[in-house]
Structure 1
Amino acid sequence: MSETGLIEHPDDCARCWWPGHDPFYMAYHDTEWGVPERDGRALYEKLILDGFQAGLSWITILRRREGFREAFAGFEPERIARFTDADVERLMSDARIIRNRAKIEATIRGARAWLAIEERGPGFSRFLWDFVDGQPIQGTARTRAEIVPETPLSRQVSKALKAQGFGFCGPTIVYAFMQATGLVNDHLVGCHRHAACAAYGGRA
């Protein structure tokens, strides 16, 4: 890895430092991270998974994502909102996920908050994308040291989400979520995905 935080690979492709040389993690970096996500349900899923990441590494959650999807009814908020205490106990016994009661209960509350936002209109996706005026913020960081853990905007979004009833959405978690879902393009400028993700920009 260079001092900038870029990793040069045998395929002559420079990538951000964080996937290392893990093929699974590299594939996520190359195909998903930083691509603008405008589907409201998918945004809910990613926000919840980022909340489960708190205190853990993202690769830990990523490797369990399919298990999470199966355990949480495909991350369909309409179904999760109807979860009962029995479902919480079921999930607490499910080894495919991170068995944290507070996070599980926050997922259910988040589903209900998501539904409330959808019912009021114009929906969860618009609720989030309005914070960036509908267009991804294009990062300009060239080195790992320039990437920050949170921003004034992530603090603003965090506050708004908490006000709606979401949990485990502090400013650092929210910034990681914004990076992953393309509200912010934080691939390092020298990474081969920076320009590719920038090309996805624009309003829905």
Structure 2
Amino acid sequence: MTSLATGSDGRIRCAWVGSDAEYERYHDEEWGRPLHGDRALFEKMSLEGFQAGLSWITILRKRPRFREVFAGFEPAAVAGFTPDDVERLMQDAGIIRNRAKILATIGNAALVSEMAEGELDALMWSFAPVPGTRPRTFADVPAVTAESTAMSKELRKRGFRFVGATTMYALMQSAGMVDDHVEGCWRAG
């Protein structure tokens, strides 16, 4: 598989972006940039959990609706969701209607709301590895690392769900804890 592709604007990007304008924007403006804040990281954790088994572009396109129906991913608000809210979400075609993922998001919100301000941010970033060698090709980009496995284990120990090691590595990439822009990508620093 090719590791680089030229976008519609002539920029060379990581090939996973393809020619989709929303993917180009996400790659250029969000993916791999450091993301901090409990609410922002809770949202990222939730959306990565919903993504499990699906393509990220599906989640990205549905993200505005997810934000709307999940109260902007404010942990305290989501933690207060009732069984009626679960049924409402199960009927909403604008999101991924997976009961287990919806319940996990609500449960995870309750756990985040019990944490001190900044604790989720500090916890997640404590697993960020020391920056290493930039990947030359997609083959050099792992799906799981020791750090994502450790993050997953710690989160699971605390009761979080849909936080497997592969999902947490995807979060680490998207939240800028690791920089997996391949050599030659215009975003590769």
Give the TM-score band, short-chain normalised: over 0.9
Aligned to 1:13: 11
- Find the residue that maps to 1:192 and give its secondary structure: coil
Following TM superposition, by how much is the alpha carbon of 1:123 offset from its aligned partner in structure 2, in angstroms? 1.4
Q: Is the 8 A contact 1:158 1:170 kept in 2?
A: yes
Q: Which 10-residue stretch deviates more, 171-180 or 4-13?
A: 4-13
Where do residues 120-199 of structure 1 align in structure 2 (5 Å cutoff)? Answer: 122-132=118-128, 137-195=131-189
Query: Aligned residue for 2:100?
Result: 102
- How far apart, CA to CA, are the structure 2 residues paired with 1:44 and 1:84? 19
Secondary structure of the 2:5 match is: strand
SS in 1 for 2:16: coil
**Amino acid of the residue matched to residue 77 of structure 2?**
R
Using the size of structure 1 for normalisation, the TM-score is 0.87
**Residue deviations 1:11-41 (CA, integer Å, cap 9, x gap):** 4421101110111111100000000001211
Distance in structure 2 (CA, Å) of the matches to 1:30 and 1:79: 31
Instruction: Name the CA distance, whole Å, in 1 between partners of 2:56 and 2:37.
Output: 21
Name the SS for the 1:131 alignment partner: coil
Q: CA RMSD in A?
A: 1.6
**Structure 2 unpaired stretches of 5+:** none
Gaps of 5+ in 1: 196-204
Amino acid at match of 1:126: A
Of residues 84, 92, 104 in structure 2, which corresponds to 1:86? 84
Identify if the C-alpha distance between structure 1 residues 67 and 36 changes in structure 2 by more than 3 Å, giving closer, same or farther: same
CA contact (8 A) 1:16 1:188 kept: yes
Query: Between Structure 1 and Structure 2, how many residues are aligned?
Result: 189
What is the TM-score of this pair, normalised by structure 2? Answer: 0.94
| Distance in 2, Cα, partners of 1:33 & 1:151 | 18
Query: What amino acid maps onto 1:186 in structure 2?
Result: D
Check conservation: 2:6, 2:12, Cα contact below 8 A. yes
Give percent identity, aligned residues only: 50
Which residue of 13, 20, 26 corresponds with 1:22?
A: 20
CA distance in 1, matches of 2:99, 2:84: 12
Q: Which runs of 4+ in 1 moved over 4 A?
A: none
Cα pair 1:150 1:172 within 8 Å, conserved: yes
- Supply the AA of the counterpart residue of 1:77: P
Aligned 8 A contact 1:39 1:125 in 2 = yes
Distance (whole Å) between structure 1 residues aligned to residue 167 and residue 48 of structure 2: 6
C-alpha distance in structure 2 between counterparts of 1:11 and 1:60, whole Å: 23
Tell whether the 8 Å contact from 2:152 to 2:164 is kept in structure 1 after alignment. Answer: yes
